[in-house]
Amino acid sequence: MAFSSKLQASTTSSSADALRSLGVLDRQPPLRVLDQLHDQGISLDLRDCRNLGDEAVKALCYLPKLQVLLLDGTDTSNLGLSYLGHGNCPLVSLSLRGCKRITANDISSLFGGSVNLSLQVLDLSRLPNLTDDGILLLAKSRTPIIELRIRECPDIGDTSVMALASMQIEGRSPGSSLYVLDMYECGGITPLSFRWFKKPYFPRLR
């Protein structure tokens, strides 16, 4: 399946060749181009490609108009996050749900480059090794996240809520930038955190 016709031919060729050499284009379920986003970018669904690892993620970084990337359940690790963070793709939405190799310390690799200027939607659900330390790193990066999902993370607790509540983006009005915060069945949440879910800490939550 071809990538978006909006991509430059040379970029498309090099990325496709790199993925094909890794066997990604031959795996089931196959690589799928989901949608063109207002004629400005593309979305790739790689969910359940369980053998897809860091070298394949590196190949995706050649796509200069990749805006939405779903890597749920893949073999991505810290190295893959570093490739994404320092790559050329202006990611707006990234899902890492169920990527079991990712740890709390790996989060900083994702936000070490230009992606922290573009990323708005992030799914870190079902990461067994994600802790409050990882959310603290996210808050420290001041990435303008508007939707954050960290469902079913047993080691996420009140500290994460407080960190997100105090996260402010430079040049914006006070309070967290989050419109959506999904913390369903996070194991460390207690009633103590409830007082933070209000203005001025989360003025935009829906």
Work out the mean pLDDT of the chain and round it to a whole number.
81
pLDDT over 90, % of the chain: 49
- Tokens linked to 109: 């690799």
Neighbouring C-beta atoms of residue 178, cutoff 10 Å: 20
Assess whether pLDDT exceeds 90 at residue 203: no
Confidence (pLDDT) at 114? 83
Structural domains in the chain plus CATH codes: 9-196 (3.80.10.10)
The rounded radius of gyration (Å) of the Cα atoms in the chain is 17
Q: 3-state DSSP call for residue 94?
A: strand
- Predicted TM-score (pTM) of the model is 0.81
Confidence (pLDDT) at 27? 45
Question: How far is it, in rounded angstroms, from Cα 153 to Cα 128?
Answer: 6
Confidence (pLDDT) at 172? 65
pLDDT digits (tens, 9 = 90+) for 103-131: 998 888 898 788 888 999 999 999 999 99
Question: How far is it, in rounded angstroms, from Cα 56 to Cα 117?
Answer: 23
Cα 190–196–200 angle (5° rounding)? 175
| Phi, psi of 105, rounded to the nearest 5 degrees | -70, -20
Assess whether pLDDT exceeds 50 at residue 178: yes
Identify any residues that bridge with 35 across adjacent strands, giving them in sequence order. 43
Question: How far is it, in rounded angstroms, from Cα 146 to Cα 169?
Answer: 11
Helix (H) or strand (E) holding 42: strand 41-45
- What is the band of 171 on the pLDDT scale with cuts at 50, 70, 90? low
- Tokens linked to 8: 């430059």
**Between 34 and 154, where is the model more confident?**
154
Cα 152 to chain centroid, rounded: 16
pLDDT digits (tens, 9 = 90+) for 36-74: 433 446 889 999 999 999 999 998 888 888 999 999 999
- Tokens linked to 95: 């899902």
**Between 140 and 13, where is the model more confident?**
140
From residue 159, alpha-carbon distances to 41, 169, 186, 196 in Å are 36, 19, 12, 11
Residue with the two structure tokens 């990749």:
66
Alpha helices in the chain (DSSP H): 9-21, 54-60, 78-85, 107-110, 132-141, 158-165
